[in-house]
Amino acid sequence: MTDRTTFSGRLLRGRTEEWREGVTMAIYVNLSLLAVLLVIPDEEEQTNIELTLTVLATAIGLLVAHHVAFRLSSRLMHAGEVRHDTKRLMLAQTLGGATAAGIAAVPVLIMGENGLWVSDLLLLVFVCIIGFVASRSGGASVPRALGYVALLVLIVLGVVILKLATMH
């Protein structure tokens, strides 16, 4: 048994599907919020509360849309039934999405518009950590995993540069 298997076994404890769904939703909401935060117009004066509500409403909208799609596809795959494991998986997705929403919302609540950049950075760091751990758990060397993370950062920086170039 390798160290990687031992770590995974302790972390997952037989809940592989729940962890996968939670992490998937955290990454999905995280990346979606990152995109949304990057396009919020800087010219509009909004209070910290208004900006925070925008972030949270976006996250909730993403979660609701995903839950509808997940329930429908689950019913399709199980002859119209919503199985017990579907509810567990949806709870895991909700927790993952809420984690991403919290990462994005707290800096905005505290710092207002300046918190948008902090939120962007935290969301990027979150994705990079997941990307690094995923690469390493798949057997990639540290340099290769860091290369993967660097690619993620370059993609996000490209989006930031695009946003800055289109600002008035």
Distance CA 18, CA 90 (A): 8
User: What is the extent of the structural domain holding 70?
Assistant: 12-166
Report the pLDDT value the prediction gives residue 18, as an integer from 0 to 100.
83
In a domain, 2, yes or no: no
In a domain, 160, yes or no: yes
Which ranges of the chain would DSSP assign to H, the alpha helix?
3-12, 16-39, 48-77, 84-111, 114-137, 142-166
Distance CA 140, CA 132 (A): 9
Distance CA 34, CA 121 (A): 9
Is the CB of residue 36 less than 8 Å from the CB of residue 163? no
| pTM for this model (two decimals) | 0.75
Q: Which residues of the chain have pLDDT under 50?
A: 1-3, 6, 168
In a domain, 6, yes or no: no
Number of domains into which the chain is organized: 1
Report the pLDDT value the prediction gives residue 1, as an integer from 0 to 100.
44
115-134 pLDDT, tens digit per residue, is 988 998 899 899 899 889 88
